[in-house]
């Protein structure tokens, strides 16, 4: 079984959650910008066909400029790297054509590891200290490729009941990726609470349950829902540039400092315990969440996870 070459100095992190609208792309762009602001050499890979991370950095979407050709072996991934306009931060943009990769990659040999193959030459150069991957809000082929290619995963989630269901699913998927042999060393880097409103009982309760079941894996920093954070993408700027002194920018800097302070390789609960913790946190919160009327529309879709061939 082909596996990731460990020991490289480049750390790769995927921002993943199959539930949309949880601040995943905002967190990917903001953390990448904060790492670059801290002097780290960063590559942001936009793997979402919606290309929101590309837009959030003000980078033009060009036909043929995404990871698509590299996934199919048609070119080197390094050829798609473009400057973001921000010091220390480069980007591999996305485009709508990437949506067909879900079909085309599935037909390719070693389809679960196409991104893994494509990223290895870039990791081997040690040009970047961090590669941050913004995944699509699904559990399709592109997200599975990201999980098979990176060292660790950060899961952004809202403090609401359906987000807990999503957390249960993603932790189970991480374990399946490990068990398949595609990426045995895949780590849950951490969980970050986004769009947080501490004035609500439900948000406080969900946060407490997640911290209880994932000790040491939930970041202390929570990301608030703010107008400035919502405005930033429309100006093609990360929040640290759009409004550097805003509360949201300070929160993302604090989150990034927590991430940098984590030991590497990570230490903590055994991987097999994460899936059990994900299920447990849903069961523990279900009655109270329903009673509080704190649900939101749109249950998560539990798509079957493809296994490595």
Interior/surface letters 63-90, b for 16+ CB within 10 angstroms, e for the rest: eebbbbbbbeeeeebeebbeebebebbb
What residue has token string 């150069």?
125
DSSP per-residue letters across 224-244? B--HHHHHGGGGT--HHHHST
Residue 72 dihedral angles phi and psi, to the nearest 5°: -95, 5
Q: Among the residues of the chain, which ranges form H helices? A: 24-37, 52-56, 68-71, 101-104, 114-125, 141-149, 161-180, 201-213, 227-231, 239-242, 247-261, 271-292
Alpha-carbon separation of residue 63 from 67, 98, 185 (angstroms): 11, 10, 34
Q: Among the residues of 47-100, which ranges form H helices? A: 52-56, 68-71
Over its length of 309 residues, how does the chain's per-residue pLDDT go in tens digits?
Answer: 444 444 458 999 999 999 888 999 999 999 999 999 999 999 999 999 999 999 999 999 988 889 999 999 888 999 999 999 999 999 999 998 888 988 999 898 889 999 999 999 999 888 999 999 999 999 999 999 999 999 999 999 998 888 888 888 999 999 999 999 999 999 999 999 999 988 889 899 999 999 999 999 999 999 999 999 999 999 999 999 999 999 999 999 999 999 999 988 776 555 556 655 655 655 655 544 444 444 333 333 433 454 444
Q: What is the pTM of this model?
A: 0.86
Tokens of 285: 């919160």
Alpha-carbon separation of residue 132 from 32, 217, 236, 240 (angstroms): 7, 18, 18, 17
CATH H superfamily, domain 11-292: P-loop containing nucleotide triphosphate hydrolases (3.40.50.300)
């Amino acid at each position: 079984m082909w596996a990731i070459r460990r020991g490289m100095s480049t750390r790769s992190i995927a921002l993943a959650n199959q539930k949309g609208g949880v601040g995943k792309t905002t967190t990917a762009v903001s953390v990448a910008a904060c790492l670059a602001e801290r002097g780290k050499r960063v590559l942001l890979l936009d793997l979402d066909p919606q290309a929101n991370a590309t837009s959030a950095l003000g980078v033009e979407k060009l036909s043929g400029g995404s990871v698509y050709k590299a996934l199919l072996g048609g070119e080197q991934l390094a050829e798609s790297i473009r400057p973001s306009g921000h010091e220390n931060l480069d980007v591999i943009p996305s485009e709508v054509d990437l949506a067909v990769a879900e079909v085309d990659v599935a037909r390719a040999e070693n389809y679960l590891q196409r991104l893994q193959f494509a990223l290895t030459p870039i990791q081997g150069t040690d040009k970047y200290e961090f590669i941050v991957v913004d995944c699509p809000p699904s559990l399709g082929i592109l997200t599975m490729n990201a999980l098979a290619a990176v060292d660790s995963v950060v899961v952004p989630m809202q403090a609401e009941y359906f987000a807990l269901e999503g957390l249960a699913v993603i932790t189970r998927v991480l374990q399946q990726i490990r068990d398949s042999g595609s990426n045995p060393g895949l780590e849950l880097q951490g969980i970050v609470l986004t769009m947080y409103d501490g004035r609500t009982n439900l948000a406080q309760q969900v946060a407490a349950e997640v911290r209880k079941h994932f000790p040491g894996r939930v970041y202390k920093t929570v990301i608030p829902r703010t107008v400035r954070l919502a405005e930033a993408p429309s100006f093609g700027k990360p929040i640290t540039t759009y409004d550097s002194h805003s509360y949201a920018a300070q929160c993302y800097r604090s989150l990034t400092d927590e991430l940098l302070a984590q030991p590497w390789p990570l230490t903590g609960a055994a991987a097999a315990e994460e899936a059990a913790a994900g299920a447990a946190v849903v069961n523990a919160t279900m009655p109270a969440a329903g009673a509080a009327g704190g649900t939101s529309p749109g249950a998560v879709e539990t798509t079957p996870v493809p296994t490595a061939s």
